[in-house]
Amino acid sequence: MSGEKWVYEYEHGSAEMKGLLGGKGANLAQMWNIGLPVPPGFIITTEACKAYWVDPRGLMDSVWPQVSDAVARLEERTGKVFGGERNPLLVSVRSGAPVSMPGMMDTILNLGLNETTVKALAEASGDERFAWDSYRRFIQMFSDVVLGLEIGEFEFLLSRAKGEQGCSYDHQLTADSLKKLVGQYLRLVESKGISFPTDPWDQLRSAVEAVFKSWNTPRAVTYRNIHKIPDDLGTAVCVVSMVYGNLGEDCGTGVCFTRDPSTGEKRLYGEFLVNAQGEDVVAGIRTPRPISDLKDAMPEVYSELVRLTDLLERHYRDMQDIEFTVERGKLYLLQTRNGKRTAKAAVKVAVDMVREGLISQEEAVKRVTPDQVEQLLHPQLDPSLKFDVLAKGLPASPGAAVGKVVFDADEAERMGKNGEDVILVRPETTPDDIHGLFAARGILTSHGGMTSHAAVVARGLGKPCVSGCEALDIDLAKGVMRVGGKEIRRHEVITIDGSRGLVAYGALPLVQPSFTEDFRELLSFADRVSKLEVWANADTPEDAERARGFGAKGIGLCRTEHMFMQADRLPVMQEMVASTDRDERLEALGKLKVMQKEDFVGIFKAMEGLPVTVRLLDPPLHEFLPKVPEMTERLEELIAQGKGDSPEACKIRVLIQRAESLKEANPMLGFRGCRLGIIYPEIYEMQVEAIFEAVVELMRQGVEVYPDIMMPLVGTYEEMRRLREMVDRMAQRFEAELGRKIPYMVGTMIEVPRAALIAGDLAKEAEFFSFGTNDLTQTTFGYSRDDAEGKFLAEYVRMHILGDNPFHVLDRSGVGRLLEIAVSEGRAQREDIQIGICGEHGGNPKSIAFCHRLGLKYVSCSPFRVPVARLAAAHAAM
Ligand code: ADP
Ligand code: MG
Ligand code: MG
């Protein structure tokens, strides 16, 4: 262990060393090295943290000589002395992981204070109040973080002190009040049987250990679980000499972003407090002032801040989130990192930075995740909707949410897990509420600003949040909140609009958001990068249009049965199903054909110039009949009314009989798909005729149409051969009529394992394959999708028997293996065979990555997922 370098001074660090120095440390070093005003400090590595878990004593003994050397250098640099009786050096001891986990671990400020140094600090600064304020903050933080004492008891003493002095804010407490308070704090610690360490070196050593340990606090562990951050990274410890924002009116502290993290707009955005220290801004104790006010409060500091933050953004070529402190008019930077942002801001910043020449199109695509695109498609309040505003707060994280009011994070978690929509309402949130924030639909706080804990976490999670809604009077004990003379109890429903900072009583209707120009542009960058095309599953002209609007390059699955489910068609369909002989059936089919043709005309038109894959009838026929018990009930009703011989009753009897005869033990594996088309050829013939009639009509009008006719559930070569023959035979007739070739293709879905295994044979007849991975997953695993999810699949995932739910994420080793076989054998037989995927998986980023690897032509997913899939396809190619 000895001989290892555990401690780095800024000179030996850089932004690239996040793994070793943590994000905070690496960026402090980088800022120092490019000459920015950073208070001197040093960093203890994440390696030390990891070694600490194995052998705490051994590690501390090995690290300590290096720490004391580094402190000596700090003393030289600052001209102050650690524990000194004249000009004492105070430090902050800060956690900083390789991956940003804002507020999740601990930091202690003003370390190095005791009875002696506090007096020295008062003398050196000429400000007694300041010295005692720093001391009481230090005791409070140290007691919380290192000694693990209840912070509430300190808060109680603090508010009592304010009461006694008759003031409402911490910074109004006089030196005498603070002195008294410090005495009370120390006695409180003593009353717990703990003696507060007075030697600064002891303080430092315990604080460093506390930071190492804070990696494993429950809230940090929860945060890592939610954000899928590995547990073995460890945290670095930054020891930074203190600069003071609480030395008076020409001092202050703040947080700012180089662009608006909510909208992405390019302007300095943030908050500050005059005469305050670090934590005050984020803790939501006083509601801070917008950064634009700093322009008037401290004009020179403001322009320096603009200059430096701009420099930082250009240096990192990304939006920065910066912490700063002003000590007697001098600006210090205490932290910079790539700023967390909403999905909307991520898109705008990425596209703007391409325009500004800061990053490439590819880089822009990389910076937006498919998850964020998904958030952009989240519901919002209709901007033109008029409603009564119950209260107004800050628009802390965009989007709207409706849910039951819950005042407690544990309860929010419980209800959220039960699938209930809740809005977590708190005076302010702390890192200990993280599980509740995660489970809630939205967050509402009465205190805190745009950079408060609730706001930052909500933006990270993509949840709507309204913060600093001061009009709310939240009574946690009674479980009610009062606002504008109204009392809202726990579990009453409210709506919040995080885009505008509004709260309303009851459930307001939400609408889908529309695309911005920036978003379109980003997706067009994505299309340039990707190899996969994105198509959509659409059954109606409206869906087709929407899909096209979202950028779909074709329809990968048009399910014709949905056309039969509509109210005006179902009776005709039932007639068809109930018919006992071919003539009756043909008559019903004739009526259906007229309707189908109309649908196809609409869809082909909407997709002019692009391929449309039409799947012939797939579900078992009994699905079109009403349920037998329902029909029986109605029949009994009719009989009771003496209408047992009415035409309706006769019809119901026929339908019941037919339903009984169609009943199957395993309908999913039964008489469905192309099996129907083989046994009742007239059904498929009608559908193919409808397709070609539509095609001919449109081609005559000069519309470009590319119909791909797809056979469901094929499992044998003979099925494929016969069905193809049928289509070709009919096509010849229509081509003769039209006097031109029709650019159609015939192909099959691959959705039973046997089809994948004989793909080479099928490809002799099929010109395209489309993987129907919903059925293929069912049939490969032998899991019924309709039953398995609720019964055992979730448990299986929890028990790690399955890595993911295979109906959500394509199972690469099993189902994926079948895909591989089908791709390679299909291509060996027919070189230019067109292959895509049309199961649910077509919209899932992990599955899309796999499809990219297989070299498929396209993925097809629901219209709303098309944008997500376009971005995921690009990411797969990078
Ligand atoms: P977090 O990771 O939770 O943001 P930080 O380590 O950044 O914790 O510190 C918390 C607050 O204390 C921040 O506002 C930071 O700017 C402030 N702070 C940290 N170190 C110093 C210092 N040496 N001097 C003044 N303020 C500091
Ligand atoms: Mg910080
Ligand atoms: Mg299927």
CATH number of the domain within which 544 lies: 3.20.20.60
Any alpha helices (H) in 708-844, and if so which ranges? 717-738, 753-757, 759-765, 773-781, 785-788, 794-798, 815-829
What CA–CA distance (Å, rounded) separates 255 from 271?
6
Q: Are residues 658 and 711 in the same domain?
A: no
Q: Does the pLDDT value for residue 514 go beyond 90? A: no
The answer to whether position 229 is within a domain reads no
Q: What is the CATH number of the domain that holds 431?
A: 3.50.30.10
**In angstroms, rounded to a whole number, what is the distance separating the alpha carbons of residues 602 and 539?**
10
The residue nearest atom 18 of ligand 1, judged by CA position, is: 278
Q: Are residues 769 and 850 in the same domain?
A: yes
Residue 118 lies in a domain: no
Q: How far apart are CA 235 and CA 227, in angstroms?
A: 16
Max CA distance (Å), the chain: 109
**Surface-to-core class of residue 162, CB atoms within 10 Å of its CB (0-12 exposed, 13-18 middle, 19+ buried):** middle
Determine, yes or no, domain membership for 783: no
Which residue minimizes the CA distance to atom 12 of ligand 1? Answer: 278
466 and 393 within one domain: yes
- pLDDT band, very low/low/confident/very high, at 449 (cuts 50, 70, 90): confident
The answer to whether the beta carbons of residues 37 and 69 sit under 8 Å apart is no
Has residue 166 been placed in a domain?
Answer: no
Given a contact cutoff of 8 angstroms between Cβ atoms, the answer to whether 102 and 455 are in contact is no
Question: Is 684's pLDDT higher than 80?
Answer: yes
Phi, psi dihedrals of residue 708, rounded to the nearest 5°: -115, 120
Q: Are residues 294 and 395 in the same domain?
A: no
Q: Alpha-carbon distance 399 to 375, whole Å?
A: 9
Ligand 1 near 214 CB (within 6 A): no
The pLDDT tens digits of the residues spanning 175-196 come to 999 999 999 999 999 999 999 9
Q: Is the same domain home to 592 and 659?
A: no
Out of 489-493, 663-667, 786-790, pick the least confident.
Answer: 786-790
| pLDDT exceeds 70 at position 719 | yes
> Which sign, positive or negative, has the C-alpha torsion 90, 95, 99, 100?
negative
Amino acid (1-letter code) at residue 243: V
CA atoms of 825 and 818, how far apart (whole Å)? 11
Domain end point (choices 285, 309, 341)? 341
Is residue 490 located within the same domain as residue 398?
yes
Query: At which residue do the structure tokens 């745009």 appear?
Result: 450
Domain total for the chain? 4
The pLDDT assigned to 285 comes to: 64
Examine the domain organization and report whether 462 and 552 are in the same domain.
Answer: no
Extract the tokens encoding 235.
């945290």
On average, the pLDDT of the chain sits at: 93
Chain-centroid distance of CA 425 in Å reads: 21
Give the residue, by CA position, lying nearest to ligand 1 atom 8. Answer: 107
Q: Dig out the tokens for 464 from the structure.
A: 């709507």
Structure tokens at 780: 């490969």
Q: Which helix (H) or strand (E) holds 100?
A: none
Ligand 3: centre distance to CA 720 (Å): 16
Q: What gap in Å lies between CA 204 and CA 64, rounded to an integer?
A: 10
Confidence of residue 324 (pLDDT cuts 50, 70, 90): very high
CATH code, domain carrying 299: 3.30.470.20
User: Rounded to the nearest whole angstrom, what is the distance from the C-alpha of residue 568 to the centroid of ligand 2?
Assistant: 62
**Ligand 1 contact via 453 beta carbon (within 6 Å):** no
Q: Ligand 1 pocket, 145 CB below 6 A?
A: no
Sort 814 into a burial class: Cβ within 10 Å, 0-12 / 13-18 / 19+. middle
**From the CB of 41, is ligand 1 less than 6 Å away?**
no
Question: Residue 336 is inside which H or E element, if any?
Answer: strand 330-338
In terms of domains, do 604 and 634 share one? no
Q: List, by residue number, the catalytic residues.
A: 453, 838
Over the Cα atoms of the chain, what is R_g? Answer: 34
ipTM of the complex: 0.95
Residue 284 pLDDT > 60: no
Rounded Cα–Cα distance for residues 109 and 116 (Å): 18
Identify the pLDDT of residue 170: 84
42 part of a folded domain: no
Given a contact cutoff of 8 angstroms between Cβ atoms, the answer to whether 848 and 860 are in contact is no
> Among the atoms of ligand 1, which is closest to the Cα of residue 41?
23
Residue 833 tokens, joined: 């065979």
Q: What's the rounded mean pLDDT across residues 400-404? A: 96
- Are the CB atoms for 692 and 734 separated by under 8 Å? yes
269 and 416 together in one domain: no
Q: Is residue 180 part of a domain?
A: no
Residues 680 and 729 in one domain: yes
User: Domain of 627?
Assistant: 623-663
- Shortest-distance Cα residue to atom 6 of ligand 1: 94
**Judgement on whether residues 613 and 634 belong to the same structural domain of the protein:** no
Highest mean pLDDT among 43-47, 271-275, 655-659: 43-47
**Would the CB of 256 count as within 6 Å of ligand 1?**
no
Query: Which of these, 294, 206, 208, lies nearest to 255 by C-alpha position?
Result: 294
**What are 338-386's pLDDT values in tens digits?**
998 988 899 999 999 999 999 999 999 999 998 888 778 778 888 778 8
CA pair distance 340, 541, nearest whole angstrom: 39
Q: Secondary structure of 462-488 in the HEC alphabet? A: CCCEEECCCCCEEECCCCEEEECCEEE
- Report the alpha-carbon distance of residue 570 to residue 561 in Å, rounded: 10
Decide if 98 contacts 46 (C-beta within 8 A).
yes
Residues 6+ apart with CB under 8 A from 188: 143, 149, 153, 154, 157
State residue 371's pLDDT score: 82
CB distance 94 to ligand 1 below 6 Å: yes
pLDDT of residue 218: 85
Residue 417 vs residue 534, higher pLDDT: 534
Dist CA 478 CA 474 (whole Å) = 9
Give the separation between CA 467 and CA 429, rounded to whole angstroms. Answer: 10
Query: Residues within 5 Å of ion ligand 2 by Cβ?
Result: 335
**The pLDDT value given to residue 283:** 60
- CB contact at 8 A, 785 and 774: yes
Does the pLDDT of residue 564 top 60, yes or no?
yes
> Of the candidates 663, 682, 716, which is a domain's last residue?
663
592 and 693 both lie in a single domain: yes
Q: Is residue 844 part of a domain?
A: yes
Q: Is residue 494 part of a domain?
A: yes
- Strand, coil or helix: 805: coil
